Amino acid sequence: MVDFSRDRDRMVRLHLARRGISDPHVLEAMRCVPREAFVPKGLEEFAYDDSPLPISEGQTISQPYIVALMIEAAEIEPGERVLEIGAGSGYAAAVMSRIADRVYTIERQAVLADEARRRLADLGYDNVEVIEGDGTRGWAEAAPYDAIIVAAGGPAVPEPLRDQLRIGGRLVIPVGERQRSQRLVTLTRIGQTEFREDDLGEVRFVPLVGEHGWSEHDGRTEREARTAGSKRQAAHSGSVPELIREAAEDLPDIDAAAFGQLFDRFTEARVVLLGEASHGTSEFYRARAAITRRLIERHGFTIVAVEADWPDAAAVDRYVRHKPARPTAELAFRRFPTWMWRNIEVESFIEWLRERNGAVRNPAGQAGFFGLDMYNLNASVKTVLDYLDKVDPEAARVARERYGCLTPWQSEPSTYGRAALSAGYAPCENAVLGILRDLLEKHLQYAAADGESFLDAAQNARLVASAERYYRVMYYGSAESWNLRDRHMFETLEQLLAWRGEHGKAVVWAHNSHIGNAAATEMGVVRDELNIGQLCRERFGTAAALIGFGTDRGTVAAASDWDGPVEIKQVRPSYPGSYERLCRDGGVGRLLLDLRKGQHDALRHELLAPRLERFIGVIYRPETELESHYSEASLPQQFDAYVWFEESNAVTPLPTKRREGMPETYPFGL
């Protein structure tokens, strides 16, 4: 049973108070109003994530932080009269009703108005009146108001709302273009015709539609508006591709020695993080391998830490460091997505690493291969799915959809709607957790019998401590699960560095969404998600080098749904206005952009404003690419450098049976 009161308290502490909301009236109101009552059935578990969620009529309920920010900016006090434009679900009106004497809220869509009325009545909030109508006209019958809050973005402040504000009253409204140009402003009426304006910063809201706002024709969805803005930005950024062309360093063939040498500029870093824009692109794997070989051979790096499960990578590590295989260990990378690490590109690097380590006499000088990820994350997911397939096929179907779409770069809240849990999961939860605990304990037996290292035993002990909590939040899916996972990966990296001593140096292979600084992306700005890159930046400063990768088009190995078969899919050409399109328009087929301050400052300045960036994981759905795989980021703040391949190809998966002549210790054998 979900403890919503605990979740509300956590939301207030982490998402509100920690981010600067200090008004005690607002904090207490947010703590007592049940947001789960204002979201559609099946989405209650997401109610206290700091993210918007879909409601009826294609609209959304705003994220809690924005609700609190606007109410605090309106300085609502007990005994006051408040007008809200855009009732939506009724949640913000409910919060204000716990502070103000009377709240009037206007909703132009009849279905939403009726639903809000019902919810507020069910909760006994009888000091709220829901009015169906054009909010841009205000509600003169109850004017003047001590505060007016507008929950949609208009091109300007509607005159009727100015007129209905009492002297001394405050009006909070997003104003400006709908794509990256809205500013949240507070107008304080200081005289009959005089207003003081305060700018609270950049926001994104749905359009304010009405007589004194945008027309119905202009009332596009948030993502459509964002797309239009990217096109407008592309039309006015003709100089950016030229700046990219001027700053670009041509990349030689990946197999040439000169390729790795180009990255010697980052060898003073203690951690070099190498990304990928997809989990199934050959060029990304081969480029990371070439850079890593150079860092190992010439610059003393002895840790290769990858976005992979610890036990699977441990089998590879034993192979590359010439250690005996565990007789009871499972074979490496046999679970979905097998192609992510079981591919020819990774095999080639592993064989090189084994050969190189064989020539190193001092074991301390050998380079190891380690997994950063949660203990058997993918095995755990498969266990959940297998169990649900037996007891509730519909819940299993929904779970597959959820695992495929709950990714940190997705900003379209309607994706949650497709992944709402069926009621059948609730009775299964404890059984699923029990199965997962059994799975974990089975693997711990291997570690207990292993005498090689305290490192492995300590890592497994850490996983036991957090296993049940992680598996629970992993299934439900939220910012909490993402943050728990990336903190775990970062802490594993710290343990590896400590194990190697003060001179230990690591290369990290992970997706761009893990290694780029999340604080410069929608992940961090909108959803309070962090990642390894951000944590490394905070911990190591400039001693962490964050290198992203991108492509315009080609092929990729990916699935259509979680636990689905690998497919070789066509990658669509990049979207107008995106970083990928700008690089393509630069006309250099393979390039390296050094994005650090002092390198190409004119280009860096032009690229700072957030733009669309493409993210493809193990799931790729080109038919919904804009919603499923694009998110906004500030490239120069996200990465120190960017590696670009205009056209790229899918990785080549390895077979899952032993090939003749392979040694018994070979980690990919059957």
Residue 237 — very low, low, confident or very high, per pLDDT cuts 50/70/90?
very low
The Cα–Cα gap between 44 and 61 comes to 12
* Number of domains observed in the structure of the chain: 2
- Please report the pLDDT score of residue 562 as a whole number: 78
pLDDT > 70: percent of the chain: 77
Do 653 and 342 touch, CB atoms closer than 8 A? yes
Q: Read off the pLDDT of each residue in 101-118 and give the average, rounded to a whole number.
A: 96
Would 666 be classed as within a structural domain?
no
pLDDT at 210 exceeding the cut of 80:
yes
Do 609 and 654 touch, CB atoms closer than 8 A? no
Residue 227 — very low, low, confident or very high, per pLDDT cuts 50/70/90?
very low
**Dihedral, CA of residue 311, residue 314, residue 319 and residue 322, to nearest 10:** -140
Please provide the distance, in angstroms rounded to a whole number, between the alpha carbons at the two ends of the chain: 42
Task: Tell me how far CA of residue 460 lies from CA of 433, 507, 583, in angstroms.
Answer: 18, 22, 43
Q: Read off the pLDDT of each residue in 238-262 and give the average, rounded to a whole number.
A: 93
> Which of 381-385, 471-475, 519-523 bottoms out in mean pLDDT, i.e. has the lowest?
471-475
- CATH at residue 62: 3.40.50.150
Q: Read off the pLDDT of each residue in 229-242 and give the average, rounded to a whole number.
A: 57
Would 83 be classed as within a structural domain?
yes
Backbone CA torsion sign across 638, 640, 645, 648 = negative
Q: Read off the pLDDT of each residue in 85-95 and give the average, rounded to a whole number.
A: 96
Do 183 and 199 touch, CB atoms closer than 8 A? yes
- Please report the pLDDT score of residue 450 as a whole number: 47
The Cα–Cα gap between 260 and 287 comes to 8
On whether both 318 and 198 belong to a single domain, the answer is no
The Cα–Cα gap between 407 and 528 comes to 14
Would 205 be classed as within a structural domain?
yes
On whether both 131 and 279 belong to a single domain, the answer is no
Task: Tell me how far CA of residue 578 lies from CA of 73, 237, 613, in angstroms.
Answer: 34, 11, 6
On whether both 211 and 242 belong to a single domain, the answer is no
- Please report the pLDDT score of residue 473 as a whole number: 56
Largest CA distance in the chain: 89
Each residue's pLDDT tens digit, 592-611: 999 999 999 999 999 998 89
Q: Read off the pLDDT of each residue in 160-169 and give the average, rounded to a whole number.
A: 96
Bridge partners (DSSP) of residue 184 are 174
Q: Which residue has the tokens 């949240």?
A: 184
Just list the catalytic residues.
62
- 3-state DSSP helix/strand/coil percent for the chain, to nearest 5? 45, 20, 35
On whether both 202 and 342 belong to a single domain, the answer is no
- Please report the pLDDT score of residue 58 as a whole number: 73
Do 28 and 60 touch, CB atoms closer than 8 A? no
DSSP string, 396-460: HHHHHHHHHH--TT---THHHHHTPPPGGGGGGHHHHHHHHHHHHHHHHHHHHT--S-HHHHHHH
The Cα–Cα gap between 556 and 388 comes to 30
pLDDT at 220 exceeding the cut of 70:
no
128 CB-near residues (< 8 Å, 6+ apart): 90, 93, 94, 97, 103, 104, 105, 120
Residue 660 — very low, low, confident or very high, per pLDDT cuts 50/70/90?
low
> Which of 12-26, 174-188, 264-278, 560-574 bottoms out in mean pLDDT, i.e. has the lowest?
174-188
Do 271 and 302 touch, CB atoms closer than 8 A? no
- Please report the pLDDT score of residue 456 as a whole number: 58
pTM: predicted TM-score of the whole model, two decimal places: 0.66
Nearest Cα to Cα of residue 459 among 444, 438, 473: 444
Would 438 be classed as within a structural domain?
yes
Would 659 be classed as within a structural domain?
no
pLDDT mean across residues, the chain = 84
On whether both 497 and 535 belong to a single domain, the answer is yes
The Cα–Cα gap between 209 and 109 comes to 11
- Please report the pLDDT score of residue 239 as a whole number: 84
Would 656 be classed as within a structural domain?
no
More confident residue, 59 or 474: 59
Would 668 be classed as within a structural domain?
no
Do 63 and 92 touch, CB atoms closer than 8 A? no
On whether both 265 and 146 belong to a single domain, the answer is no
Of 166, 192, 220, which one is at a domain's C-terminal end?
A: 220
Domain membership of residue 24 as a residue range: 4-220
- Please report the pLDDT score of residue 228 as a whole number: 44
Of 220, 254, 279, which one is at a domain's C-terminal end?
A: 220
Order of strands, sheet of 102-107, starting from the edge strand that comes earlier in the sequence = 128-132, 102-107, 81-85, 145-150, 165-175, 183-189, 195-202
More confident residue, 195 or 223: 195
pLDDT at 111 exceeding the cut of 50:
yes
Do 537 and 277 touch, CB atoms closer than 8 A? no
On whether both 379 and 246 belong to a single domain, the answer is yes
Each residue's pLDDT tens digit, 626-658: 878 999 999 999 999 999 999 999 999 997 665
Each residue's pLDDT tens digit, 549-587: 999 999 999 999 878 899 999 999 999 989 999 999 999
Bridge partners (DSSP) of residue 170 are 147, 188
Would 227 be classed as within a structural domain?
no
pLDDT at 469 exceeding the cut of 70:
no
pLDDT at 499 exceeding the cut of 50:
yes
On whether both 186 and 273 belong to a single domain, the answer is no
> Which of 184-198, 312-326, 401-415 bottoms out in mean pLDDT, i.e. has the lowest?
401-415
Q: Read off the pLDDT of each residue in 76-104 and give the average, rounded to a whole number.
A: 97
On whether both 267 and 398 belong to a single domain, the answer is yes
Each residue's pLDDT tens digit, 476-485: 555 677 888 8
Secondary structure string (H, E, C) spanning 40-54:
CCCCHHHCCCCCCEE
On whether both 512 and 559 belong to a single domain, the answer is yes
pLDDT at 223 exceeding the cut of 60:
no
Do 610 and 586 touch, CB atoms closer than 8 A? no
Task: Tell me how far CA of residue 451 lies from CA of 440, 454, 498, in angstroms.
Answer: 19, 8, 20
On whether both 194 and 240 belong to a single domain, the answer is no
- Please report the pLDDT score of residue 235 as a whole number: 41
- Please report the pLDDT score of residue 315 as a whole number: 87
Nearest Cα to Cα of residue 282 among 85, 634, 604, 556: 556
Residue 471 — very low, low, confident or very high, per pLDDT cuts 50/70/90?
low
Most confident region among 221-225, 440-444, 534-538 by mean pLDDT: 534-538
Q: Which residue has the tokens 């824009």?
A: 277
- Please report the pLDDT score of residue 229 as a whole number: 45
The Cα–Cα gap between 632 and 634 comes to 7
On whether both 372 and 400 belong to a single domain, the answer is yes
In angstroms and rounded to an integer, the radius of gyration of the C-alpha atoms of the chain is 27
> Which of 116-125, 137-146, 530-539, 554-563 bottoms out in mean pLDDT, i.e. has the lowest?
554-563
Each residue's pLDDT tens digit, 341-352: 999 999 999 999
